[in-house]
Chain A
């Protein structure tokens, strides 16, 4: 699996624009050279707005062939908008999108990329097998329908009307449909939303078996565990911007920080934020929450130099790291985000 040299640099007051910058990319050997496979996905400075809503605000992202990448972020972060542009369902207002070095729509027409959509996208009055046949007949080259149904674990319900299938079964059908062109790049948008734990596990089992063949997989999720368990690379997106990009292990390191909770009436947020070791500050009435890399230093200073009391120090879970990165703390107006890591 090709790993992206994505870094998890600490933010320095600005939003992290991780991913390869243009200079770095230009230095990559032979991007246009046929001998080296082109990037599966190449997004450069992509912006997309819907009316006054800026859904995607300058995303640069390079996904190499063979990567299994999770696109992680809360609802409304811009995951689906970005995926839509990769699939050619919408065009960016600014910036460029390439899939295997060609326009997204062309890659779709050649059967190089396919997708498992969030919900819908099925006809209730067709059977499972007919839906797969329908999809298969649209492509120039397709895998046998029986084979993809088997792969998705829905051979037993091939004759069932789609309208009578459970949510999990429908999702497996979407997966089967996505496998039909034998795509090089498979995109899954929130593939397990609304599934129970067992359905989720079974679904990922099927994906995992398939990924072993070297297919590039990009999935959007807001479940941290999924990103952690199934991706080699995690890209965190929030408010239309990439706020972190790295391996699952690197993202896990984000959880190594601690949170200090203290009672501090009239807290000066800026002063607390300026303390060495403090990464993020929340003030809730008389309570302050300080996310820190070095909790000892912050605690010492709090006790010695401020009237803070009732200190509690807890280690931060992955969930907190995620919230800190993608929550309001990381938002702010464009360009002055304060990611709390």
Chain B
């Protein structure tokens, strides 16, 4: 083939489908994730240790709550903590990728920003699934959690899907802040948000003022919703509103920063 006909052939090339997204990318991203010790500790080891140390004591085991026992409530809480830590940390990894120039490098490939975000979301869902499974597995093998079988599945899925809220949070923070600080900030923010959302201490133990404040924090709605199948009672519209508003804030923030980023880099 002459250089000319080679060029003519090359000009007929088509861009890849789906903005460059492929299962191969996802596989490599997951492999990368498994190598990241800090993220694995944050998302898998810590929740398991927390649940082990606080969720399984005998007073919880023998105390009823909704359709199960308090250990089941604790298990859902801690699984949610692990899942949001996982998704937030994964989302925030864009910060490291920006600082290293990797996202700039990706922009000289066919990968579209949307496909990139989808990859980040899916990767964080994989890690979140790991976090939920680890905590639920501990609950199952210790035989201390009492909850109907279908609720194991339902609450687990709710926690898993719900944790996407914090993938958006992680992306927002990841695009907003330089990489040196982002993990510390995410860690601190998560601890506060989980505390305010009642994941570590039940909201019933908060003072009335603090409780009112807690209802405006990002994990309140999601936490109430994922506990609802177990707790029963009435479904409060404020939970859904809380979740919807925070989701809108995080997604809008991430989209805003992403647009700025792609305009500049």
Contacts and interface: CB of A to CB of B under 8 A. Distances in A.
A108 B20 CA distance: 12
A139 B108 CA distance: 11
Nearest to A184: B10
A125 B32 contact: yes
B104 A89 contact: yes
B108 A108 contact: yes
Contacts of B149: none
Contact of B104 (A37, A109, A121, A182): A121
B3 A112 contact: no
Interface in A119-169: 119-126, 130, 133-135, 137-141
Contact of A117 (B10, B28, B104): B104
Residue among B6, B14, B15 with the highest chain A CB neighbour number at 10 A: B15
Contacts, number: 107
Contact of B109 (A123, A125, A135, A214): A135
Contacts of B265: 89
Interface string B1-40: 0011011101101111100101011001001100110000
Interface string A102-119: 000010111111110101
Nearest to A105: B107
A257 interface: no
A308 to B, nearest CB: 53
A37 B4 CA distance: 7
A130 B15 CA distance: 22
Contact of B35 (A89, A125, A135, A177): A125
A28 to B, nearest CB: 16
A115 B6 CA distance: 20
Contacts of B11: 38, 100, 110, 112, 184
A130 B31 contact: yes
B25 A134 contact: yes
Contact of A120 (B13, B101, B110, B264): B101
B13 A111 contact: yes
A138 B7 contact: no
B13 A133 contact: no
A126 B34 CA distance: 11
Given A122-B105, A126-B28, A137-B24, A112 B110 contact: no
A240 interface: no
A120 B16 contact: no
Contacts of B36: 125
A87 interface: yes
Nearest to A134: B28
A336 B191 CA distance: 61
Contacts of B28: 126, 130, 133-134, 137
Given A133-B28, A138-B109, A122 B15 contact: no
Contacts of A125: 32, 35-36
A138 B25 contact: yes
Given A65-B7, A214-B6, A108 B110 contact: yes
B14 A114 contact: no
Contacts of B8: 37
Contacts of A87: 107-108
B177 interface: no
Given A37-B7, A137-B22, A123 B110 contact: no
A66 interface: yes
B4 A140 contact: no
B262 to A, nearest CB: 9
Interface in B83-115: 97, 100-102, 104-111
Contact of B102 (A90, A115, A121, A141): A121
A137 B25 contact: yes
A109 B15 contact: yes
Contact of A89 (B16, B102, B108): B108
Contacts of A111: 10, 13, 110
B100 A124 contact: yes
Given A112-B13, A133-B24, A119 B32 contact: no
A149 B108 CA distance: 19
Interface in A53-93: 65-66, 87-90
Contacts of A139: 16, 20, 109-110
A122 B24 contact: no
Interface in B28-69: 28, 31-32, 35-36
A115 B7 CA distance: 18
B35 A140 contact: no
A87 B28 CA distance: 26
A121 B31 contact: no
A89 B25 CA distance: 22
Given A138-B25, A139-B16, 14 more contacts: A37-B8, A89-B104, A110-B10, A111-B13, A121-B101, A123-B100, A125-B32, A125-B35, A130-B31, A138-B20, A138-B109, A139-B20, A139-B110, A177-B105
30 contacts: A37-B4, A38-B11, A65-B3, A87-B108, A108-B109, A108-B110, A109-B16, A110-B110, A111-B10, A111-B13, A111-B110, A114-B109, A120-B102, A120-B104, A121-B100, A121-B104, A121-B105, A122-B102, A123-B32, A125-B35, A130-B28, A134-B25, A137-B24, A138-B16, A138-B111, A140-B16, A140-B17, A182-B10, A214-B3, A214-B6
Interface of A: 37-38, 65-66, 87-90, 100, 106, 108-115, 117, 119-126, 130, 133-135, 137-141, 177, 181-182, 184, 214
Task: Give me the 6 closest cross-chain CB pairs, A-B, nearest first.
Answer: A120-B101, A121-B105, A214-B3, A109-B15, A137-B24, A140-B16
